[in-house]
A and B are shown apart, each in its own frame.
Chain A
Amino acid sequence: NAGVMQNPRHLVRRRGQEARLRCSPMKGHSHVYWYRQLPEEGLKFMVYLQKENIIDESGMPKERFSAEFPKEGPSILRIQQVVRGDSAAYFCASSPEGGSYEQYFGPGTRLTVT
């Protein structure tokens, strides 16, 4: 049973480009969460999605960031026109239906903006 999968593991983008981060939840999990970890800091919540629905986006920056979790396929976190301050590790977590108190994390995508 594969765990939460994220790709790419490392992503380098120049300022102004777009970054697309993918997350495939664990098999049978229908809830996805995205978190951001800045260097030497803890994780900060960004967004919580269920299939085709955004449940809580209170941690998402108002501009340039968007997330989706389509009926088929992985969840996507999209960052448009990246800036140096977007450099961070982005983690995805998933949880099963009815058991959202257990969140299982993927290995993360480390985004570097040059």
Chain B
Amino acid sequence: GEDVEQSLFLSVREGDSSVINCTYTDSSSTYLYWYKQEPGAGLQLLTYIFSNMDMKQDQRLTVLLNKKDKHLSLRIADTQTGDSAIYFCAESMDTDKLIFGTGTRLQVFP
């Protein structure tokens, strides 16, 4: 089945690290993604990881993939107020549709 789950809210202090978690159910997923959505806007592709990788780092972003547990995480180092948004993880099994999680609302306070 196709199901992607995320916690709904995360609140962090500015300058701290944020860790957003995601679990998925389809072990045949090929790519896993993190998107950011700001209020009233579309989705911005932050990063993605191929399923045969364990980790990917891109500046302040670190993606960890535990394929055995079907667990994906996004770590944002030195979180800023501009990082406040909804973060969606998504999976795809081929080059077709993306299956999205419900989104995690990240709130950064000073």
Contacts and interface: CB of A to CB of B under 8 A. Distances in A.
B48 A43 contact: no
Interface residues of A, number: 26
B24 interface: no
B80 interface: no
B96 interface: yes
Contacts of B43: 43, 91, 93, 105
Given A42-B88, A91-B42, A101 B97 contact: no
Given A42-B88, A101-B30, A101-B31, A33 B97 contact: yes
A59 interface: yes
A25 interface: no
B49 to A, nearest CB: 11
Contacts of B35: 105
B98 A45 contact: yes
Interface of B: 4, 30-31, 35, 41-45, 48, 88, 92, 95-103
12 contacts: A4-B42, A33-B98, A42-B101, A42-B102, A55-B96, A56-B96, A58-B97, A93-B98, A102-B45, A103-B45, A105-B45, A107-B42
